[in-house]
């Protein structure tokens, strides 16, 4: 059985994003921060968001049995809270995510230029499917498209939220953060799944054609050199 035949059924978009719980976990610290800031001020909001992140981290450890997702959940909120503390402004809570979007968008664009589109690289690493797709130009082009979608998502996040940081309130920043989070990520993931399916279909067809050609060559070889009959 080939590697392509052994690939499991691809998860749904919702499953790839962590399911409903992932949606809640990613949104909760932001919502808690905005509500606490509205009612109690900046410093209670900072501690409330950190507390929410720690609780989420504990839940992730309990569910997944690994500390890495918990550390990631707490780290992002911790950095955002530290920036808000240092700037003395609730809007500072969103600065880390804003500039993070710019860095990510630039990385995705650069990966297209160097012909290692990150949509394909990351998918291969997460699923252990290898990089056979890089030997197929059409597959690279498909992953280029998916990677460009990711770059546009991160670019849109940066542009909109950076403008809101200068022009609007914390509430609007929080709304943009949530509205441009999972909904836009779903679009980028859909583009990635599209690229994966097209690439896998081509690679599987090519592999089957190669196996058929090898079998035919072996059959011709046996016909040309038949085994001598035995008594």
Q: Where are the alpha helices (DSSP H) in 17-94?
A: 19-40, 42-64, 68-87
96 and 156 part of one domain: yes
SS (H, E, C) 193-231: HHHHHHHHHHHHHHHHHHHHHHHHHHHHHHHHCCCCCCC
166 and 105 part of one domain: yes
Across residues 213-218, what is the average pLDDT? 63
Last residue of a domain, one of 36, 65, 88: 88
104 and 166 part of one domain: yes
pTM, two decimals, is 0.78
pLDDT digits (tens, 9 = 90+) for 2-28: 444 444 455 554 455 455 555 667 788
121 and 188 part of one domain: yes
**Is the distance from CB of 191 to CB of 163 less than 8 angstroms?**
no
Q: Is residue 104 part of a domain?
A: yes
Percent of the chain with pLDDT over 90: 43
84 and 41 part of one domain: yes
Q: Is residue 106 part of a domain?
A: yes
Q: Is residue 76 part of a domain?
A: yes
Last residue of a domain, one of 62, 88, 114: 88
Count the domains in the chain.
Answer: 2
74 and 107 part of one domain: no
Q: Which domain covers residue 133, as residue numbers?
A: 92-221
Of 99-103, 119-123, 141-145, the poorest mean pLDDT is in: 119-123
Q: State which of 9-18, 110-119, 209-218 shows the largest mean pLDDT.
A: 110-119
pLDDT digits (tens, 9 = 90+) for 23-66: 667 788 899 999 999 899 999 999 999 998 888 888 877 776 55
C-alpha 144/C-alpha 146 separation (Å) is: 5
């Amino acid at each position: 059985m080939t590697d392509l035949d052994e690939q499991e059924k691809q998860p749904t978009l919702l499953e790839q994003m962590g399911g409903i719980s992932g949606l809640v976990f990613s949104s909760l610290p932001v919502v808690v921060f905005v509500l606490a800031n509205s009612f109690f001020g900046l410093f209670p909001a900072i501690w409330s968001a950190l507390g929410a992140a720690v609780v989420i981290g504990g839940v992730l450890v309990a569910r997944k049995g690994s500390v890495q997702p918990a550390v990631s959940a707490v780290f992002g909120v911790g950095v955002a809270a530290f920036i808000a503390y240092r700037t003395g402004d609730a809007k500072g809570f969103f600065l880390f995510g804003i500039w993070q979007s710019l860095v990510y968008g630039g990385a995705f664009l650069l990966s297209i230029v160097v012909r290692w589109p990150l949509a394909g690289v990351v998918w291969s690493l997460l699923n252990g499917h290898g990089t056979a797709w890089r030997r197929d130009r059409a597959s690279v082009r498909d992953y280029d498209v998916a990677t460009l979608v990711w770059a546009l998502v991160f670019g849109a996040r940066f542009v909109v939220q950076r403008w809101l940081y200068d022009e609007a309130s914390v509430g609007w920043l929080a709304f943009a953060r949530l509205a441009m989070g999972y909904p836009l990520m779903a679009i980028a993931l859909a583009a990635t799944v599209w690229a994966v399916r097209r690439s896998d279909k081509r690679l599987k067809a090519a592999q089957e054609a190669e196996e058929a050609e090898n079998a035919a060559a072996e059959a011709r070889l046996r016909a040309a050199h038949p085994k001598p009959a035995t008594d």
